[in-house]
């Protein structure tokens, strides 16, 4: 197996497994009715996945699971668990059961996505930014797919959306377990030690890259998770009738080519410059989209697509930076720690966003709440750019 074949197959497996992430969000009105959910409980169908991912990732990081277990077996088991947990939405378990199933889905996905980044790093020493960009692009398309299924088939039952997403994760488990393997640049195994998280925290350049990622995550999942609601309110209050499910798919999916461009740029102008550029544009978009909340429709859609393109385009570069700046035996744990804390942050912004809309009395300026994240990220990556060890990134391109 060559590195490009490995990249393609891993990308397909990540896309298929990550379909379970927003499967409930895409059919939230139906699930709210079926499980008799309150507005707060409905929000937790999205937030529980974030919480589960954060808990799973931080637990895995503390035990160095991705640096101890064979990666592909670990990922296969996690994808299979995501399949089962997502399918539990088809069972009438009430609000508590549905939220618990979403939490378990998040825990499972913490065993898929961070290890996938390490797996790809074992295949690529040069071009790692582009390869990891492809992984985040796969995550992005997988996250968008439930909206496509719902948007292109108005009569598709909600159960079919959930079932399709679960079957995707089952296929991913087979790819991870039976087809994929680690590449020729495998990292050294390590032993479990409670001091590993301390080593990560004391690595200044790694923590600057992490702070950039944390600012990025403050914005990303709240935008992804609530854009459907935001566009729906814009449709009824200002811009007129549109297919909000298809628009939401397009906005999230626009991040996939954004990730590839981000990886290409990072190999040429450096990871720090690329992340600063992308966070700058996405932060301005968060501030600016409210201007066109009332139309015209083409302007609203254009700003939304630019935002969708840039909001995730830099994501892989934070992971690539950590893989280059970490001690080799801690790469898996460092990546898992980064994502665990990052996804924990998303819980807060996903929770705050609808509260902001209620406080303002409209969704129009709600996304202003997200702009401070990219600002913090820009500052952190500028400080990393000035750090001497940043020369270790992207073959010296910083």
> Pick from 313, 152, 308: which is nearest to 243 by CA?
152
Per the structure block, which two tokens stand in for 306? 């630019």
pLDDT averages per 10-residue partition of the chain, 398 residues: 89 93 82 79 83 85 72 92 94 86 94 86 80 85 81 70 92 94 73 63 86 95 89 79 82 90 88 94 94 88 95 89 80 78 87 90 94 95 86 68
Task: Give the per-residue pLDDT at 138.
Answer: 87
Q: Which fold has domain 3-180+191-392?
A: Growth Hormone; Chain: A; (1.20.1250)
Peptide bond into 296 cis (omega under 30): yes
- CA–CA dist 256, 259 (Å, integer): 5
Q: Measured at the alpha carbon of residue 72, what is the angle toward residues 10 and 100, in degrees to the nearest 5? A: 90
Task: Give the per-residue pLDDT at 192.
Answer: 47
Q: What is the 3-state secondary structure (H, E, C) of the chain?
A: CCHHHHHHHHHHHHHHHHCCCCHHHHCHHHHHHHCCCCHHHHHHHHHHHHHHHHHHHHHHHHCCHHHHCCHHHHHHHHHHHHHHHHHHHHCCCHHHHHHHHHHHHHHHHCCCHHHHHHHHHCCCCCCHHHHHHHHHHHHHHHHHHHHHHHHHCCCCCHHHHHHHHHHHHHHHHHHHHHHCCCCCCCCCCCCCCCCHHHHHHCCHHHHHHHHHHHHHHHHHHHHHHHHHHHHHHHHHHHHCCCCHHHHHHHHHHCHHHHHHHHHHHHHHHCHHHHHHHHHHHHHHHHHHHHHHCCCCHHHHHHHHHHHHHHHCCCHHHHHHHHHHHCCHHHHHHHHHHHHHHHHHHHHHHHHHHHHHHHHHCCCCCHHHHHCHHHHHHHHHHHHHHHCHHHHHCHHHCC
pTM: 0.79
Task: Give the per-residue pLDDT at 155.
Answer: 55
Residue showing tokens 């990249």? 7
> Pick from 377, 392, 54: which is nearest to 203 by CA?
392
- CA–CA dist 277, 262 (Å, integer): 10
Distances (CA, A) of 12 to 7, 106, 183, 196, 259: 9, 19, 17, 32, 15
Q: Which residues contact 11 (CB under 8 A, 6 or more apart)?
A: 134, 135, 137, 138
Q: Which residues contact 306 (CB under 8 A, 6 or more apart)?
A: 281, 285
- CA–CA dist 109, 169 (Å, integer): 10
């Amino acid at each position: 197996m060559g590195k490009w074949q490995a990249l393609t197959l891993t990308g397909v497996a990540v896309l298929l497994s990550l379909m379970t992430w927003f499967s409930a969000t895409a059919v939230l009105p139906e699930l709210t009715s079926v499980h008799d959910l309150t507005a707060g409980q409905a929000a937790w169908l999205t937030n529980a996945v974030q919480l589960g991912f954060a808990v799973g990732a931080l637990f895995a990081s503390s035990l160095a699971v991705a640096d101890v277990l064979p990666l592909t077996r670990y990922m296969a088991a996690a994808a299979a668990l995501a399949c089962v947990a997502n399918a539990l939405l088809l069972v009438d378990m009430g609000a508590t059961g549905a939220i618990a199933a979403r939490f378990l889905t998040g825990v499972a996905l913490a065993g898929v996505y961070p290890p996938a980044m390490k797996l790809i790093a074992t295949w690529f020493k040069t071009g790692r930014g582009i390869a990891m960009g492809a992984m985040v692009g796969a995550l992005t398309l997988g996250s968008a797919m439930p909206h496509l299924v719902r948007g292109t088939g108005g009569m598709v039952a909600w159960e079919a959306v959930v079932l399709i997403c679960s079957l995707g994760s089952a296929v991913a488990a087979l790819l991870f377990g039976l087809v994929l393997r680690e590449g020729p640049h495998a990292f050294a195994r390590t032993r479990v030690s409670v001091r590993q998280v301390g080593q990560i925290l004391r690595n200044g350049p790694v923590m600057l890259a992490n702070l950039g990622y944390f600012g990025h995550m403050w914005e990303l999942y709240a935008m992804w998770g609530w854009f459907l609601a935001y566009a729906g309110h814009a449709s009824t209050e200002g811009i007129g009738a549109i297919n909000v499910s298809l628009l939401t798919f397009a906005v999230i999916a626009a991040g996939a080519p954004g990730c590839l461009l981000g990886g290409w740029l990072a190999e040429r102008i450096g990871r720090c410059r690329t992340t600063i550029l992308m966070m700058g544009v996405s932060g301005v978009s968060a501030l600016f989209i409210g201007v066109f909340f009332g139309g015209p429709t083409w302007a609203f859609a254009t700003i939304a697509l630019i935002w969708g393109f840039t909001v995730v385009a830099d994501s892989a570069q934070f992971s690539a930076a950590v893989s280059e700046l970490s001690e080799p035996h801690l790469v898996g744990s460092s990546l898992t720690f980064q994502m665990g804390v990052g996804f924990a942050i998303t819980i807060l912004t996903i929770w705050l966003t609808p509260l902001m809309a209620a406080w303002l009395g409209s969704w129009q300026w709600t996304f202003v709440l997200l702009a401070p994240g990219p600002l913090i990220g820009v500052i952190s990556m500028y400080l990393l750019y000035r750090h001497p060890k940043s020369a270790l990134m992207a073959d010296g391109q910083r």
